[in-house]
Structure 1
Amino acid sequence: METIGLILIKTMQIYSYLVIGYILLSWFPNARESSIGIFLARIVEPYLAPFRSIIPPLGMIDISPIVALFALRFAENGVRYLVQMF
């Protein structure tokens, strides 16, 4: 059980880095149209879509990825707590 939990925690950490990378791509022109940007979009956009439907953008600023990262970190801490419990 502990091994599965640790693998799940590590996967969530890697996924949060992918989300951060996808967010950083928005700072550079045409970076999301590159092969790396398209790859990250296919992986990250399905996770970000529910947050974007709940939280509208504030002008030119989209804070939904930040909320999505907080939710991912919250889930990671929950899994970490469950692993320590057993």
Structure 2
Amino acid sequence: MYFIGEILLRVIDIYQIIILVSVVLSWIDRYGEMGVTKFVRQLTDPYLNKLKVIVPVGGMYFDLSPIIGLLLLGLIRQIVVKIFWGF
């Protein structure tokens, strides 16, 4: 049973890293023309588009979906720990 919990935690951790990579790539490759950016966006956009909140800041727009997505994954991670280990 703990094996399943470990797998879930690793999947959540990896997905959080992929979201962070997506954020960094959005600064480097703003228009998503690089192959790695397209691949990472294919992995993250279905999840992040459901959480998309865009806030205008000055003359730019700030997308809060990665922050909300990471916080939500952190909450899910805590729930998995409580279910499998009771902490």
TM over 0.5: same fold? yes
CA shift, 1:31, in A, is: 6.7
User: Which amino acid counterpart does residue 80 of structure 2 have in structure 1?
Assistant: V
Percent identity reads 27
| 2-structure distance, mates of 1:31, 1:23 | 13
More helix by share: 1
Structure 2 residue ranges without an equivalent (≥5)? none
Which residue matches 1:64? 65
Q: Does 1:23 find its partner at 2:23?
A: yes
C-alpha RMSD over aligned residues: 1.3
Q: Per chain length, whose mean CA-contact separation is higher, i.e. which structure has more relative contact order (CA < 8 Å, sep 6+)?
A: 1
The 5-angstrom pairing of residues 11-50 of structure 1 reads 11-30=11-30, 32-50=32-50
More strand by share: 2
Q: TM-score, normalised by structure 1?
A: 0.88
Structure 1 residue ranges without an equivalent (≥5)? none
Q: TM-score, normalised by structure 2?
A: 0.87
| 2-structure distance, mates of 1:62, 1:30 | 13
Which residue matches 1:2? 2
Runs of 4+ in 1 over 6 A off after TM superposition: none
Aligned residues: 82
